[in-house]
């Protein structure tokens, strides 16, 4: 059975540990963190080994979940790959593009799996979209929430990259134009951001992200001929609005306009997206199957997110 461990047991790392402990297809073997107290607490709670020494930790596992801060992704993921371990690294894959390309190169050279934790890919509602979307012309995403625990990157790499990744897949064409603006509120980076994208095939996308909003909202909407699709990431619901009938009634004193719409709620088999992501990684490694998402998609999301960030800073925050 695949022996798997988690390095970095902060908020996201603990979430990984909890889900892995419930998956029958792997053995949660060990955790690793610089915080000895946190290591003891988690290792005792799950009856697994705990380490503060990363090299000792790597000796115990076949695969690693890298959930350390973004600026440490390359260091920990590359070391694991060099030691022959399969890696799932939290998004973004790395802080910069050269490091991401280097990780991909190491994984390919050593014939190892390297996957990136773009968890919204495994959201049941997102996976259902491929059966609904035909020819989109306008995509709008909102990912708004209160203050984030992440302080080492801005809101684009922290939150917006989820929507960047999904929208790149939906649009299915290269980006032609980017207009991006942001503002620093409480961190050293942009805490709110808004971007408009124009793709080569004419698709337009607008994305808003905030980590200073007192209400949590995560939605994606797609306008296409004959329908408007509204997806709620949090509830994993999809609602489709169709307009079959429009009528003008001319009366003596007024003109009445009526518009009837059909509202369709799509049935979705909902599941925990992180669980599905981890199961996918484990099955790929254990069974030697081809991943559903390749390194080109991972790199594409990072490249666009970095370009958006660059435009934001050029315009001033």
Indicate the burial class of 232 (C-beta count within 10 angstroms; 0-12, 13-18, 19 or more). middle
Contacts of 53 (CB under 8 A, 6+ apart): 32
For the chain, domain boundaries: 2-117, 121-273+302-315
Question: Beta strand pairing status for 136-144 and 26-32?
Answer: unpaired
Asked if residue 92 has a cis previous peptide bond (ω within 30° of 0), the answer is yes
Indicate the burial class of 175 (C-beta count within 10 angstroms; 0-12, 13-18, 19 or more). buried
| Distance of alpha carbon 23 from alpha carbon 11, whole angstroms | 19
User: Given this structure, which CATH class describes domain 2-117?
Assistant: alpha beta
20's tokens: 């892995």
| Distance of alpha carbon 225 from alpha carbon 9, whole angstroms | 46
| Distance of alpha carbon 90 from alpha carbon 281, whole angstroms | 12
Q: Which residues of the chain have pLDDT under 50?
A: none
pLDDT (tens digit, 9 = 90+) per residue, 96-127?
999 999 999 999 999 999 999 999 999 999 99
3-class secondary-structure state, position 252: coil
Contact 16, 5 (CB under 8 A): no
| Distance of alpha carbon 29 from alpha carbon 210, whole angstroms | 37
3-class secondary-structure state, position 56: helix
- 121-273+302-315 carries CATH number 3.30.360.10: yes
pLDDT score recorded for residue 262: 87
Residue 210 has a CB neighbour count (10 Å cut-off) of 25
212's tokens: 């200073």
182's tokens: 């942001």
């Amino acid at each position: 059975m695949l022996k798997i461990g988690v390095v970095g047991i902060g908020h996201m790392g603990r979430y990984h540990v909890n889900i892995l402990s419930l998956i029958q297809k792997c053995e949660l073997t060990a955790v690793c963190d610089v915080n000895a107290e946190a290591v003891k607490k988690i290792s005792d709670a799950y009856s697994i080994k705990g380490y503060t020494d990363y090299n000792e930790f790597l000796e115990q596992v076949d695969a690693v979940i890298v959930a350390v801060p973004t600026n440490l992704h390359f260091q920990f993921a590359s070391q694991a790959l060099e030691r022959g371990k399969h890696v799932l690294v939290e998004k973004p894959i790395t802080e910069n593009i050269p490091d991401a390309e280097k990780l991909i190169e190491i994984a390919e050279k050593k014939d190892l799996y390297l996957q990136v934790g773009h968890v919204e890919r495994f959201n049941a509602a997102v996976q259902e979209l491929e059966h609904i979307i035909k020819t989109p012309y306008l995509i709008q995403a909102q990912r708004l929430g209160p203050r984030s625990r992440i302080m080492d990157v801005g809101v684009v790499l922290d939150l917006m990259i989820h929507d960047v990744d999904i929208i790149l897949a939906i649009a299915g064409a290269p980006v032609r134009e980017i207009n991006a603006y942001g503002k620093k509120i409480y961190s050293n980076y942009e805490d709110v951001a808004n971007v408009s994208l124009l793709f080569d095939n004419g698709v337009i996308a607008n994305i808003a992200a905030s980590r200073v909003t007192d209400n949590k909202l995560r939605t994606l909407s797609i306008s296409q001929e004959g329908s408007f699709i509204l997806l709620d990431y949090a509830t994993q619901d999809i609602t489709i609005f169709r307009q079959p009938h429009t009528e003008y009634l001319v009366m003596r004193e007024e003109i009445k306009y009526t518009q009837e719409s059909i509202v369709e709620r799509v049935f979705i088999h909902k599941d925990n997206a992180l669980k599905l992501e981890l199961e996918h990684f484990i099955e790929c490694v254990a069974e030697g199957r081809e991943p559903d998402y390749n390194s080109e998609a991972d790199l594409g999301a990072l490249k666009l997110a970095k370009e958006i960030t660059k435009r934001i800073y050029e315009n001033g925050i």
